[in-house]
Amino acid sequence: MEYLRATCRDDALAALADGNTSVLAGGQSLVLDLSKGDAEVRRVVDINQVAEFDLLTERDGVLRVAPLVRHRTFESVTVGGPLGELMRLVVRNIGHPPIRARGTMLGSLAYAHPAAEWPALAVALRARFELSGPDGCRTVPADRFYTGPFATVRRPEELLTEARLPTLPPGTGVGYAEDRSGPGIYPEAAAIVAVTMTDGLITAATIGLVNAGPRPVCARAAERSLLGTSFSDAAVNAAAEAAACIDADFGRIAPADRRRRERATWRLTRRALTQAREGC
Ligand SMILES: Cc1cc2nc3c(=O)[nH]c(=O)nc-3n(C[C@H](O)[C@H](O)[C@H](O)COP(=O)(O)OP(=O)(O)OC[C@H]3O[C@@H](n4cnc5c(N)ncnc54)[C@H](O)[C@@H]3O)c2cc1C
């Protein structure tokens, strides 16, 4: 396998132009896949020396995350407000400390593991992704980026250069709940929630579901059911029911497994919403 080291953005894009080169970011998934023989890679371009990729900025209500921002960055209060609070709730469960120190958010977004937390957060928040390639840049909404497990619309010669996450307004409560059988492994299911209240009524709601389908899922009907309500127990229950009814295309799935998934989604959505209500 050929190893290239990029020192600037143009180097990285030039290396990818052959359409047959893999990006090496934190290496926490790629190297594992290579060692297990799960990935066939002829050439890698290591982007860890590209200083301009180690950038996190917040401007005009948008958090911009570049390719070398590590998971760990989001453990501290680097990002303020409700979005920062939500990211802190989520990130502390990803892998374990060495993985969070090396692994990058954009690596996780590009890898598209159906049980990964950042893709579900990005889809729920209606984030946008910037892809850069030989013909320039294009921007793709997060929910159109994912096409299946480990599958995205990214072309082989493109680099994911930025994730743009809208910040959340004051008055937003956030919540996160998950089922995970132990540290250092992906969750079996999780719900990521942000709810904004104005004058006692819900004016915006976001519910992302992890591992609830082959792609990250946004529980849109559940979100809609909350709007205009006073965030009562009844509203929480109705939203959890709506989230559990999501018909994610799992293909063939045994009825008992489907019911187990639905129950988990109901329980986790309810728990995350209850946590969010406390913060509103
Ligand atoms: C034991 C273990 C437990 C884990 N648990 C969790 C967990 O609970 N939740 C979770 O979300 N993740 C988990 N992970 C994965 C971890 O979050 C990885 O860091 C992440 O999936 C990939 O990020 P990376 O920077 O390490 O990417 P790499 O491993 O370097 O790359 C991963 C893939 O993405 C591509 N890629 C990387 N960056 C870019 C880019 N900018 N543009 C285009 N393509 C790119 C690579 O070519 C490769 O195909 C776990 C990993 C391990 C080993």
Q: Is the CB of 25 under 6 A from ligand 1?
A: yes
- This model's pTM is above 0.95: yes
Q: Is the CB of 12 under 6 A from ligand 1?
A: no
* C-alpha closest to that of 69 among 12, 98, 107, 120: 107
48: which 2 tokens? 């860890």
Q: What is the DSSP string of 52-91?
A: GGS-EEEETTEEEE-TT-BGGGGGTTTS-HHHHHHHHHHH
Q: How many residues does the chain have?
A: 280
Rg of the chain (C-alpha set):
19
Q: Using CA positions, which residue lies closest to atom 5 of ligand 1?
A: 95
Tell me the torsion sign for CA atoms 162, 163, 166, 172. negative
Q: What is the pLDDT of residue 249?
A: 62
Q: What is the pLDDT of residue 257?
A: 82
Tell me 49's DSSP state. T
* C-alpha closest to that of 164 among 90, 76, 85, 60: 60
Tell me 98's DSSP state. H
Residue from 21, 92, 99 to probe ligand 1 pocket by mutation (most atoms less than 8 Å from CB): 99
Q: Is the CB of 160 under 6 A from ligand 1?
A: yes
Above pLDDT 90, what percent of the chain? 90
Q: Using CA positions, which residue lies closest to atom 38 of ligand 1?
A: 107
Note the pLDDT tens digit of each residue in 192-233: 999 999 999 999 999 999 999 889 999 999 999 999 999 999
Q: Using CA positions, which residue lies closest to atom 14 of ligand 1?
A: 95
What SS3 string covers 148-163? Answer: ECCEECCCCCCEEEEE
161: which 2 tokens? 């250069």
Q: For the ranges 60-64, 140-144, 176-180, 248-252, which has the lowest average pLDDT? A: 248-252
Q: What is the pLDDT of residue 34?
A: 92
Q: What is the pLDDT of residue 85?
A: 98
Q: What is the pLDDT of residue 58?
A: 97
Q: Letter for the amino acid at 41?
A: V
13: which 2 tokens? 């894009």
Answer yes or no: is pLDDT of 23 > 70.
yes
Q: Using CA positions, which residue lies closest to atom 41 of ligand 1?
A: 160
Answer yes or no: is pLDDT of 39 > 90.
no
Q: How confident is the model at residue 252 (pLDDT cuts 50, 70, 90)?
A: low
The Cα 105–Cα 89 span in angstroms is 15
Strands 2-5 and 43-46: parallel
Q: Which domains does the chain have, with CATH numbers?
A: 55-166 (3.30.465.10), 174-279 (3.30.390.50)
* 278 Cα to the center of ligand 1, angstroms: 32
In the block, tokens 């009814």 appear at: 245
* 225 Cα to the center of ligand 1, angstroms: 34
Is 120 within 8 Å of 209 (Cβ atoms)? yes
Answer yes or no: is pLDDT of 69 > 90.
yes
For the chain, the first-to-last Cα distance in angstroms comes to: 52
Average pLDDT, rounded, for the chain: 95
- State which ligand 1 atom lies nearest to the alpha carbon of 119: 11
Strands 189-198 and 136-141: unpaired
